[in-house]
Amino acid sequence: MILETQQLTRCFGKFTAVDAVNICVHMGEVFGLLGPNGAGKSTAIKMLTTLLPPTAGRATIAGYDVTHQSDAVRRIIGYVPQALSADGSLTGYENLLIFAKLYGIPRSQREQRIREALAFMDLQAVADRLVRNYSGGMIRKLEIAQSILHQPQILFLDEPTVGLDPVARHQVWNLMQQHVKDYGTTIILTTHFLEEADSLCDTVAIVNRGQVIATGAPAKLKATLNQPNATLNDVFITI
């Protein structure tokens, strides 16, 4: 087990965005958080990445408590937020160099790590181009490259393919699947593309109004409907 939450809760005033959530994620799996807008997915991700303190409950990543051992947690995770965040006034290479320094990658290793990340995400040809001239798909690949520079144990992707065309979306997920295969990285993702989650995730948790209402392998959840050719979309609508 690399991630576990126990009654994880976040309130904003009288509104409970995440309500006593219990999830367990195994090392090396792709785990999807699915649900409608406002279900609490991004709030849960922000707590797990130490950006937002829980109101109640607890969460651990690789044995570290996200509240009381946040520095240790940050060293072993990568995070790609929902909104595009790369600095458009810098080149792709310069964005990666800043992250390499922030992650504390030794000077002797920075160049190799950056070049490897650029190559892995197929960005070598545009490494010296200003990011403001990148396409949306290229920016997203750069942000993923930033998040894997320090070879994290667990990678959080919040709506990683939102706004991307089908070709770019397919490219991003092919690269992420290859990364899981090569490094054994655990991935936690949120997505509204249920067919994406169906094909990529080992386990999904369906969230609504801050609560987890169903958890399991996509095939297992679809089997509960007892209907041929059931999809995750059918499961989502039914529950």
Domain regions of the chain by residue span: 3-231
Question: Cβ distance 45 to 122 under 8 Å?
Answer: no
**Dist. CA 145–CA 153, nearest whole Å:** 15
* DSSP string for 110-126: HHHHHHHHHHHTT-GGG
The span from the CA of 157 to the CA of 161, in Å, is 9
Query: Tell me: the pLDDT tens digits for 119-165?
Result: 988 899 999 999 999 998 899 899 999 999 999 999 999 988 887 88
CATH superfamily of 3-231: P-loop containing nucleotide triphosphate hydrolases (3.40.50.300)
Q: Express the helix, strand and coil content of the chain in percent, nearest 5 each.
A: 40, 25, 35
Q: What's the chain's average pLDDT?
A: 93
The stretches of 38-106 forming alpha helices (DSSP H) are 41-48, 70-76, 92-102
Q: How confident is the model at residue 88 (pLDDT cuts 50, 70, 90)?
A: very high
CA distance 185 to 97: 22
**pLDDT given at position 162:** 80
